[in-house]
Amino acid sequence: MQNHNDHYDVIIIGTGAAGLSLALAVADQAQVLMISKANLNSGSTQYAQGGVSAVLDVHDSFESHIEDTLNAGAGLCDRDIVNFTVTHGPEQIHKLIEQGVPFTQRTSKSGKLDYHLTREGGHSHRRVIHADDATGAAIGSSLIERVRKHPNITVLERHLAIDLITGGKFKLDTRRCQGVYLLDRDADTVKAIRARFVVLSSGGAGKVYLYTSNPDVATGDGIAMAWRAGCRVANMEFIQFHPTCLYHPAAKSFLISEAVRGEGGHLLLPDGSRFMHHFDKRAELAPRDIVARAIDHEMKRIGSDSLFLDISHKSPEFITSHFPNIYARCLELGYDMTTEPIPVVPAAHYTCGGVMTDREGQTDIEGLFAIGEVSFTGLHGANRMASNSLLECLVFAHSASQKILHELDTVKMPDSLPAWDESRVTDSDEEVVVAHNWDELRRFMWDYVGIVRTTKRLQRAKHRIDLLRTEIEEYYRHFRITNDLIELRNLVEVADLIIRSAQLRKESRGLHYTLDYPRPAPLAHNTVLIPD
């Protein structure tokens, strides 16, 4: 790792699978800066349990994976992008295997050792390659180890991107993205760093909701920064709620993998009866939006704080070998999943919309790329199919890296950038305002813009968000910035985009379900928001 300086060929904001993969793909030919607002392994990738979907079995086919994805996406997937992603999947998996990712292997009936593939909701075949039930951590750890060793990659941990520096916004001689303003969380100082290319791989916005499976860093920073810089944003109304987060006060954000249902787990009411067959013929293997909505419906119908997931009818050996980490964590919290059901509740999990890009990750602004959950590629449509997210990270990191390397020698390093100006701000004497606003935002988003929506709920949310935005913008202009204030400013921006998008969709489709328009419209369309 080199010493920190004020310019790099490529700045990558976010250190999940997408950002790490892209860094390694370009670093042999470029000087790279990776920015993590916590530590290098704090992104959502580390929490991905299930695996990566790809066509790796002789009985499977690209056509089947494409059709499953299109079906889950409820008419809004871009078929060309789905085809592009699915057909490039296997090569990215083989690349990870070459890099040492320890995917789980099993001995087949014929005695041959091969990679174990599991099946998850929406998939018609076993095509999810995994590392036990901690796939994201295995992929992340392998990539991080290689990043830390690479001489051309500098890592800045505990640094938070405040805003992108673009020609249009800062009256420079080009509309191109020139770099980024960074807050050093420890030194409490702001620096401007130049770059030929800036890549957003900053993940989603789960923390906009009260209950989420996401880590604390998932505050929609990349989406908010790109929007402020002038990028279009699409389909923000489609927030995927994972059906099964462990319900326990100490189990913050702990996900019970889709694969538990894929391997035969049953969803139960408190009286022990199953209910999913009333909602979908696929029962527990229906896509996530259907399962989450069914759980939400039953919880509200009977007034219960949680429902239950039960796989105790399988042998203890099966459960502990397939789900060692989930089993251990549940046991720590007093639940033995080999002998009893575990309490679960839906939680905000994945942002299907995001910053609009092409198939190479290029946004509306020259030199600015977005890959992974922060982006909108057209892959997921109105509902992401399980385990297609890590696949998207890997495929688009590769395609973006190809474009960056192709253009690297033709792009001039920007000249000096305008310094961060805090000459007219003071230290805040009202930090409690940020905490109160943060709490209020997440509660009304959960109540009014959650799994089931209505026109009136969305109007209430829009009224509240307008007041909050005004208050926070005034606060931002007058007081010295802090980590919490930057995150809150971004969350409010993203919450506003979610609400506006939901208000524009006068139908129920995929993850967007409204009681006022319970059926899908005859024609499917994307919700595209354009900055003023």
Active centre residues (catalytic): 288
CB 388 within 8 A of CB 274: no
SS (H, E, C) 168-185: CCCCCCCCCEEEEEEEEC
| Residue 321 CB contacts under 8 Å (≥ 6 apart), including other chains | none
Q: Which residues pair with 129 in a beta bridge?
A: 52, 117
- Cα distances from 451 to residues 74, 144, 254, 295, 446, in angstroms, run 16, 35, 19, 10, 8
DSSP letter, residue 36 = -
Token pair 């078929």: residue:
79
Q: Number of C-alpha atoms within 13 angstroms, CB side, residue 430? A: 11
* Closest of 83, 379, 392 to residue 238, by C-alpha: 379
Distance between CA atoms of residues 63 and 69, nearest Å: 10
Residue 2 has a CB neighbour count (10 Å cut-off) of 12
Question: What's the rounded Cα separation, in Å, for the pair 40 and 36?
Answer: 6
**Residue 19 and residue 13: Cα distance in Å, rounded?**
7
Residue closest to 16 by CA, chosen among 195, 264, 203: 203
Structure tokens at 369: 């790329």
115 with 105: CB under 8 angstroms?
yes
Tell me how many degrees the CA angle 144-149-153 measures, rounded to the nearest 5: 80
The sheet that has 52-53: what strands, in order across it? Answer: 52-53, 128-129, 117-118
Torsion sign across C-alpha atoms 408, 412, 416, 418: negative
